[in-house]
Amino acid sequence: MTVEKKTNYGSITVSEEAVASLAGGVITECYGVIGMASKKVVKDGLAEMLKKENYTKGVVVRRTGEGLEIDLFIIVSFGVKISEVVAEAQKKVKYVLEKSLSEEIAAVNVFVQGVQVLE
């Protein structure tokens, strides 16, 4: 799945991995988000923290009739109000992706895979 645009100068194609990497970078800058987690929870119910180059493993991008749907798997900081952190993260990711891609974002679904104490 790619995002394609036609301009007077030619066509622009943005890969699914590029969209996922952008979304992962944006959400990790949000207050209360420690990092991205893998889509697959490893044994014992623990989530694996992803490094910057692996953000695409914690993001799912789908195209629907209304636009793009983004699923993000994150780990949040202990002591924050999770509902507020997720709501603000959804707004920021939607805004940045719509401005960067000139594409309608139908939904930003955030899945909290774990809570960690900052050291």
Could you read off the pLDDT tens digit of each residue along the chain, which spans 119 residues?
A: 678 888 899 998 999 889 998 999 999 999 999 888 877 665 445 566 666 667 778 899 998 888 899 999 999 999 999 999 999 999 999 999 999 998 899 999 999 988 888 76
Q: Which of 76, 69, 96 lies closest to 34 in space, CA to CA?
A: 76
Residue among 95, 60, 64, 63 nearest 74 (CA): 60
Domains (range + CATH), the chain: 2-116 (3.30.70.1350)
Which of the 8 DSSP states describes residue 78?
A: T
- In this prediction the pTM is 0.83
Half-sphere exposure of 94 (CA within 13 A, CB side): 15
